[in-house]
Chains A and B, each alone.
Chain A
Amino acid sequence: MGAMTLPLRVRVRPYADLTRYFPGTGAVREVDVPAGATIQVLLERYGVDAEPRLTLGLNGELAERNARLASGDLVDILVPMTGGA
Chain B
Amino acid sequence: MSRSQGSVHRRFLRVDLTTGGVSVEEPEPDYMRLHMGGRNVIAHTLLTEVPPGSDAFDPENRLVFALGPITGVSVPGGSRHSVGAKSPLTGLFGESEAGGYWGAELKRAGWDAVIVQGRAAHPVYLWIDDGVVALRDARHLWGETTGPVEAQIRGELGDEHIRVAQIGPAGENLVRFACVVHDLNEVAGRTGLGAVMGSKNLKAIAVRGTQPVTAADPRAIAGVARWVAQETLAPGGAHHRLHTWGTGAMVKSKQLEGHLVANNFRDGQLPGGDQVDALAIEASTDLEMDRCYACSVRCKKRVKIDRPDRKVDPKFGGPEYETMAAIGSNTGVIDVMAVCKGHEMLNALGMDSISCGATIAWAMEMVELGLLDERQLDGETLRFGSADDLLRLIGRIARREGLGDLLAEGSLRAARTLGAEAEARVVHVKGLEVAMHDPRAMPEMRRNYPVTPTGGDHTGAAGKRSGLRNTVGLCHFLQYDEATTLTLLNAATGWEVLPEELHATFERGVTMARLFNLREGMQPEDDRLPDRLHQPLRHGPLRDRRLSRETVSDEVRAYYRDHGWDPATGRPYADTVEYLGLAAVAEAAQATPFVAERREPIPAGRPPYTPQREENGALAE
A residues whose Cβ falls under 8 Å from a Cβ of B: 15-17, 20, 55-57, 61-62, 76, 78-85
Contact = CB atoms under 8 A, between A and B. Distances in A.
A79 B321 contact: no
B445 A83 contact: yes
Interface string B250-270: 111110111000000000000
A83 B445 CA distance: 8
B236 A20 contact: yes
B444 A83 contact: yes
B424 interface: no
Contacts of A76: 252, 256
Contact of A81 (B240, B251, B258): B251
Given A15-B279, A16-B241, A17-B240, A84 B256 contact: no
9 contacts: A15-B250, A20-B236, A55-B253, A61-B256, A78-B252, A80-B253, A81-B621, A84-B248, A84-B458
A47 to B, nearest CB: 11
Given A16-B278, A55-B256, A83-B445, 13 more contacts: A16-B244, A16-B279, A17-B240, A57-B252, A62-B257, A79-B241, A81-B254, A81-B621, A82-B621, A83-B458, A85-B247, A85-B320, A85-B459
Contacts of A61: 256
Interface in B563-621: 618-621
A85 B235 CA distance: 22
B27 interface: no
B414 to A, nearest CB: 26
Interface string B507-526: 00000000000000000000
B322 A62 contact: no
A79 B621 contact: yes
A82 B248 CA distance: 10
Interface residues of B, number: 36
A82 B444 contact: yes
A50 B459 CA distance: 28
B499 interface: no
Given A78-B256, A81-B251, A83-B459, A17 B437 contact: no
Contacts of A62: 256-258, 541
Given A16-B245, A17-B240, A81 B256 contact: no
Nearest to B247: A84
A77 B376 CA distance: 46
Interface string B301-321: 000000000000000000011
Contacts of B253: 15, 55, 78-81
Contacts of B459: 83, 85
A24 to B, nearest CB: 16
B460 interface: yes
Which residue, of B278, B620, B621, has the highest number of chain A Cβ atoms within 10 A?
Answer: B621
A3 to B, nearest CB: 36
A82 B256 contact: no
Nearest to B282: A16
Contacts of A79: 241, 250, 253, 621
A83 B447 CA distance: 13
B249 interface: yes
Contacts of B244: 16-17
List 3 A-B pairs, minimum CB-CB distance, nearest first: A55-B253, A84-B247, A16-B249
A84 B322 contact: yes
Nearest to A56: B256
Contacts of B320: 84-85
A17 B236 contact: yes
Find the residue from B245, B256, B279 having the highest chain A CB count within 10 A: B256
Among A16, A57, A76, A78, the most chain B Cβ lie within 10 Å of the Cβ of A16
Interface in B443-486: 444-445, 458-460, 477
B615 to A, nearest CB: 11
Nearest to B260: A81
B576 to A, nearest CB: 27
A85 B321 CA distance: 6
A17 B322 contact: no
Given A15-B250, A16-B241, A62-B541, A81 B279 contact: no
Contacts of A20: 235-236
Nearest to B242: A84
A61 to B, nearest CB: 7
A34 to B, nearest CB: 25
A76 to B, nearest CB: 6
A82 B321 CA distance: 11
Nearest to A61: B256
A16 B279 CA distance: 7
A65 to B, nearest CB: 14
A80 B248 contact: no
A7 B488 CA distance: 53
Contacts of B245: 16
A16 B235 CA distance: 10
Contacts of A56: 256
A7 to B, nearest CB: 26
B315 to A, nearest CB: 18
B569 to A, nearest CB: 29
